[in-house]
Amino acid sequence: MRRTAGLVLLALAVFCTALSPLLRWYAFPRLARIPANQYQDMVLEAKDATLLDYGTMQARKVSKVTIVQTLKGDVAASKRIGATAGKDVVVWDGLSYVQGPDGNMVSSFPERYIFDAHSQEPVHATGEMVDGDPVTRQGIEFKFPFLTEKRDYQYFDAQTRTANPIHYKDTRTFRGVKVYYFEQTVPWTKVPFPRTMPVQGITPESVAKTGTTRWYTTVRRFWVEPVTGAPVYGEEIHQEELRGGTLLGGRDRVTAFAGHVKMREDYIEHTVALVKHNRTLVLLLTSYLPWGLLGVGLLLLALALYLEARGRRPDDPAPARSADPEPVSA
């Protein structure tokens, strides 16, 4: 009986021990992915910002500029493109809607971002665009890869339509979460005017005829939870200028927007809670289950060896029989 139990425990030990690396190195890369139907929104604010009044073409100080960012997954497009690409693909339709303190629109900036659901690497397909312009992205955008490393990444900037290095700086703690801090500086670059302008009747084409150009620079900062690759907080020191041309009335340049853009407090709390929850799910596949199964496998192996040793122990010797009595002669 002991021998049978030992063999069963040995088989279970082998199973658990073999399953441990399979979960980490085979199942995790295939199961950890961004859902195709994901929807999220984010509100950012730049307080005490500088904003251009297009009516007077004068820059003025305003109490607050609000940026509402939304990302919505297109499930049908994800399936269609994924079937062609032969991989799990996510298609995000993004929109950055900027409004001034009076609630009026400053700009509306749409994007379509197509990427690998597991690695977050861009997937190039028809429909990939920024503000209606076809693009071929290089590098990541919005989210870092699962198990983010302490190294530099190429991060796509939608304004310039180019990828620039985003540098790992150090490891920090943010709201009780261990994070990697990344920073990217995009130097002053000439960029297109948004297709949707804040003044009716003014178009990018009509502005271009004046010879006035739009320039942009930013310092982008992310606090990234490394297990999920999700930023728990982000901010930008953002500047835009209009330069030259007849639109400025002889001036060399004028500030179109300047402000320190930060996530609103209620969205920080929501994002931190969501990332903590998703972190636990990822750790189940990368740490908790693999190490737990390995520990259970070693325990079962030790128990199987113990039972095997007990089964091989010789039986206790039987009690000694008394010698036959000597025969008695008459």
Confirm whether 274 is domain-assigned: no
Nearest to 123 by CA among 65, 82, 69: 82
Range with lowest mean pLDDT among 114-118, 184-188, 268-272, 304-308: 304-308
Nearest to 95 by CA among 158, 183, 139, 189: 158
Looking at residue 330, what is its pLDDT?
A: 42
* pLDDT tens per residue, range 295-325: 887 887 787 777 777 766 665 555 555 555 5
Confirm whether 327 is domain-assigned: no
Is the pLDDT confidence value at 94 over 60? yes
The number of domains in the chain is: 2
Confirm whether 230 is domain-assigned: yes
User: Who has greater pLDDT, 28 or 1?
Assistant: 28
* pLDDT tens per residue, range 223-256: 999 999 999 999 999 999 999 988 888 899 999 9
Nearest to 111 by CA among 90, 138, 124, 93: 93
Is the pLDDT confidence value at 326 over 70? no
| Residues 69 and 104 occupy one common structural domain | yes
- Collapsed DSSP state (helix, strand, coil) of residue 290: helix
Confirm whether 165 is domain-assigned: yes
**260 pLDDT tier (thresholds 50, 70, 90):** very high
Confirm whether 269 is domain-assigned: no
At 154, list the tokens: 């190429």
The answer to whether the CB of 62 falls within 8 A of the CB of 49 is yes
Confirm whether 49 is domain-assigned: yes
| Residues 120 and 143 occupy one common structural domain | yes
| Residues 10 and 61 occupy one common structural domain | no
| Residues 149 and 58 occupy one common structural domain | yes
| Residues 191 and 220 occupy one common structural domain | yes
Confirm whether 111 is domain-assigned: yes
The answer to whether the CB of 289 falls within 8 A of the CB of 5 is no
| Residues 13 and 65 occupy one common structural domain | no
State CA 216 to chain mean position distance. 25
- Residue showing tokens 């063999």: 7
Angle 289-312/2-22 helices, nearest 10 degrees? 160
- Residue showing tokens 């200028």: 241
The answer to whether the CB of 156 falls within 8 A of the CB of 140 is yes
| Residues 170 and 304 occupy one common structural domain | no
pTM: 0.85
| Residues 238 and 292 occupy one common structural domain | no
User: Who has greater pLDDT, 36 or 287?
Assistant: 36
| Residues 14 and 38 occupy one common structural domain | no
Residue-range definition of the domain harbouring residue 15: 2-22+285-312
| Residues 7 and 36 occupy one common structural domain | no
Confirm whether 185 is domain-assigned: yes
Interstrand relation of 213-225 and 230-243 (parallel, antiparallel or unpaired) = antiparallel
| Residues 93 and 7 occupy one common structural domain | no
